[in-house]
A and B are shown apart, each in its own frame.
Chain A
């Protein structure tokens, strides 16, 4: 029995909620771990204690964030089994491997050494502790690599074939899966986005101390590390934008067309729509402002390859769905016991379109007897709604350009030693702290919403992937996640704000603003009791 629509929709909602929540914490871990490496490297090389304080203070904030990353991450490892059991069976032979490797080769490294990062300061030599920090950073970036190899495969499922005996996809080439161009581009883009997020976080909080003119030596050095690292990261995020990956794989072509609201195929190289109001009904983008040639150049990295428009993609998909019906019929024949060479050859010839046939399951359970209206519905399903894709993408790009401006300006005024008077820039940096998170979440919406109606592009439709669960179970888990995560997020933010406000004084070295202020106060009035510091 297939899961009912409500179960599929609730499962999708739950995956979206848990993944977006998890990704509130991942980018900061990815980036801040390397910022800690940079700071500690300077400490090891120069022996200057302020860099040790920087590593420890930003490390404290790293820890507050890391705990939530771990808490929300556990869910992700098990959720494919709980809510997407048919998916897990159908592609587990390929998809499970990168998740298992992530555990063994990356997450183990990260989580074993993160304890020593916090507790090993007095038990390790300087260089040993520095190596521990490097391993934590390496572990977290490697972790992203394996997860994005898994995710890249969902978008461009290479190196695998359907086996009718076991009714699932099976691995043909592990190296194709690992060196999947979509996965590689996604990895670089995603970790670089994490580096931007962490840089903006450090930049903004340091700007806050500079605006208040306290702990300036500490803040200025932190600001400098963030500005340099952030500038490099922003440049790579923009240059290595993952739109270039969208030419690989059939379904990514749909994404590209939807992002650009290109309903009609244009002669190459296509123009880039800067602004417009996409209208799915009329299949036309109203009030479009276009820059000639640019889309073709970015999207295809050539001047003579076409970016195919939505109308033509639909025509192609209809052909594939009709082929898919034949593939399904051939599969049924094989499953009913006719395993003659002719039956096998027939299926082998058609099986690349089997997934398109499965799109019809939603409308016609037997697939082979679908009417032409049902086929039209399935064809329409193959194109995601254009407006959310169009706007999410533009939001992400606009934010990326803003980050480039902030980091460039910060870097410029820093090396000209004229940062302090630029209070507008410091305020802008402070207010921009949440923006990289918004950009990252928009990026995931483009990538994952844009993959619909598939979980595995061209292979397995979303509505078949879900577990056959009871609706009440899903309400229990969905509200459980939302309630738990929101509660924990509020706690996390409260602590984060508390420690960020307190700044390096929270290290209790006695060298920073609040503690010195308290000391001065008690010297001025020897009868007063020492004020207990608010953060311990």
Chain B
């Protein structure tokens, strides 16, 4: 079966979306757990319980991030090149904070000195708090548009700065990202822990979901009423190969709402996200841990999808030179590469999901203080 180029371009938008949402759903709760670690864990034993709820699985979860990076490189090379070189300092800070996790998890328990352990707990906090903040700020800036343009050899020039990313809407998105993953981490800990920790995280989940709700609604109103969106005015046939400069783009107030008008069913996405946040509060209050976790997962996916739907088919709009904006039509690899990679994803993704589920099944059940005491020398 051979797929036409236009279909492949749309499928690849979905694939990258799946990888990013997969990352947010799995590594997302690792980040949330990391943020809470020094606050929720009052003793070394409690902190070890918290760490060991994610210890066996966080590494595989992070691979969603690595793979999303690789897939973006393969399918959207211009996005990979432009976003990462443009957000240079932000990405470096993201990488530096991510370094703290693998070593933090593995090395913390290998020395008994409380100062050593406490230092790594704060390292794990940074590794849990900073990445979602930066990802959220970056996402927010996508909606605002980013200042870059290409010359005719397709070399990108970025004229923004790190501090320009920290504008009010960018920061609001960053906080939303932190709040939603904090919530997701807190519902995960409800499932995986018991007793005092379980009680504390219930309240965190409720507060986090409420904060996410407020920030999400606020952000939505901002996008709908107070922000300019981008609109493609003309472009070559979507089924052909062309580069960004071949199209024309206009900037209009409210253009980020176009897709909801065109496909009314998409209005359900933000509605589901809001409903899921409310449910997370209710279910956490009722101590329905598993359902609360599913619900916070739906909320995370819904929030990301809402942003993605608003800017579709844009990926990286350019505020400096709108026609340089990257879209799913013109930032892509050749049809041949997209086709080959399509089949590979179709083959590998189900296998990955299958064995990941098996690992979670093997590691199922709560982590308790007794588990830590019994495995003092092998647990993290």
* B-binding residues in A (CB < 8 A): 1-2, 63-64, 66-68, 70-75, 77-78, 80-83, 85-90, 92-97, 99-105, 107-109, 111-116, 118-121, 123-124, 163, 165-168, 170-172, 174, 335, 467-469, 473, 476-477, 480, 484, 488, 491-492, 495, 498-499, 506-508, 535-536
How many angstroms between the C-alpha atoms of A163 and B156 in the bound complex?
18
Contacts of A95 in B (CB 8 A): 73
Verify if B186 is at the interface (C-beta below 8 Å from A).
no
Q: Are A97 and B337 in contact (CB under 8 A)?
A: yes
How many angstroms between the C-alpha atoms of A118 and B105 in the bound complex?
12
Q: Are A85 and B333 in contact (CB under 8 A)?
A: no
Name B's interface SS.
helix
- Cβ of B295 to closest chain A Cβ, rounded Å: 25
- Cβ of B257 to closest chain A Cβ, rounded Å: 31
Q: Are A480 and B96 in contact (CB under 8 A)?
A: yes
Mask of B19-30 contacts with A, CB within 8 angstroms, 1/0: 000000000000
* A-binding residues in B (CB < 8 A): 55-60, 62-63, 65-67, 69-75, 77-78, 80-85, 88-89, 91-92, 95-96, 98-99, 101-103, 105-107, 109-112, 151-158, 241-243, 333-334, 336-337, 340-341, 344-345, 348-349, 352, 355-356, 359, 362-363, 376-379
Among A71, A121, A168, A174, contact of B103 (Cβ-Cβ < 8 Å): A71
Instruction: Give B157's nearest chain A residue, CB to CB.
Output: A468
Q: Are A100 and B153 in contact (CB under 8 A)?
A: no
**A100, A111, A167, A477: which has the most chain B beta carbons within 10 Å?**
A100
How many angstroms between the C-alpha atoms of A165 and B245 in the bound complex?
11
Contacts of B103 in A (CB 8 A): 67-68, 71, 488, 491-492
Q: Are A71 and B110 in contact (CB under 8 A)?
A: no
How many angstroms between the C-alpha atoms of A491 and B243 in the bound complex?
47
How many angstroms between the C-alpha atoms of A473 and B91 in the bound complex?
11
Q: Are B356 and A112 in contact (CB under 8 A)?
A: yes
Instruction: Give B100's nearest chain A residue, CB to CB.
Output: A71
Contacts of A118 in B (CB 8 A): 55-56, 378
Contacts of B348 in A (CB 8 A): 104-105, 108
Q: Are A170 and B73 in contact (CB under 8 A)?
A: no
How many angstroms between the C-alpha atoms of A81 and B83 in the bound complex?
8
Q: Are B345 and A116 in contact (CB under 8 A)?
A: no
Among B55, B66, B109, B337, contact of A119 (Cβ-Cβ < 8 Å): B55
Q: A71-B99, A95-B73, A104-B70 are in contact. List 15 more A-B contacts (CB 8 A).
A: A1-B151, A70-B59, A74-B95, A78-B69, A88-B80, A99-B70, A103-B63, A113-B359, A115-B59, A119-B363, A168-B154, A171-B340, A174-B340, A468-B156, A484-B99
- Cβ of A253 to closest chain B Cβ, rounded Å: 29
Q: Are B102 and A99 in contact (CB under 8 A)?
A: no
How many angstroms between the C-alpha atoms of A80 and B80 in the bound complex?
9
Contacts of A67 in B (CB 8 A): 102-103, 105-107
Contacts of B66 in A (CB 8 A): 73-74, 77, 103, 107
Q: Are B77 and A111 in contact (CB under 8 A)?
A: no
Contacts of A73 in B (CB 8 A): 66
- Cβ of B349 to closest chain A Cβ, rounded Å: 7
Q: Are A104 and B345 in contact (CB under 8 A)?
A: yes
Knowing A115-B55, A491-B107, the reply to whether A167 touches B81 (Cβ < 8 A) is no
How many angstroms between the C-alpha atoms of A14 and B166 in the bound complex?
26
Contacts of A94 in B (CB 8 A): 337
How many angstroms between the C-alpha atoms of A287 and B59 in the bound complex?
54
How many angstroms between the C-alpha atoms of A469 and B155 in the bound complex?
12
Contacts of B109 in A (CB 8 A): 536
22 A-B pairs within 8 Å (CB atoms) are namely A71-B103, A77-B69, A78-B91, A78-B95, A81-B85, A85-B85, A89-B81, A90-B154, A92-B77, A92-B78, A96-B77, A111-B63, A113-B355, A115-B58, A116-B362, A120-B56, A163-B241, A165-B242, A166-B241, A473-B88, A495-B110, A508-B377
Contacts of A92 in B (CB 8 A): 73-74, 77-78, 80-81, 333
Knowing A70-B59, A111-B59, A473-B88, the reply to whether A165 touches B241 (Cβ < 8 A) is yes
Contacts of B376 in A (CB 8 A): 508, 536
Contacts of A121 in B (CB 8 A): 378
How many angstroms between the C-alpha atoms of A128 and B66 in the bound complex?
27
- Cβ of B267 to closest chain A Cβ, rounded Å: 33
- Cβ of A532 to closest chain B Cβ, rounded Å: 8
Q: Are B71 and A100 in contact (CB under 8 A)?
A: yes
Q: Are B155 and A97 in contact (CB under 8 A)?
A: no
Among B101, B153, B157, B352, contact of A167 (Cβ-Cβ < 8 Å): B153
Contacts of A167 in B (CB 8 A): 152-154, 243
- Cβ of B92 to closest chain A Cβ, rounded Å: 5
Q: Are B334 and A171 in contact (CB under 8 A)?
A: yes
Q: Are B74 and A100 in contact (CB under 8 A)?
A: yes
Knowing A77-B66, A89-B81, A97-B340, the reply to whether A488 touches B99 (Cβ < 8 A) is yes
Instruction: Give A506's nearest chain B residue, CB to CB.
Output: B377
How many angstroms between the C-alpha atoms of A75 and B95 in the bound complex?
7
Contacts of B96 in A (CB 8 A): 480, 484
Q: Are B155 and A86 in contact (CB under 8 A)?
A: yes
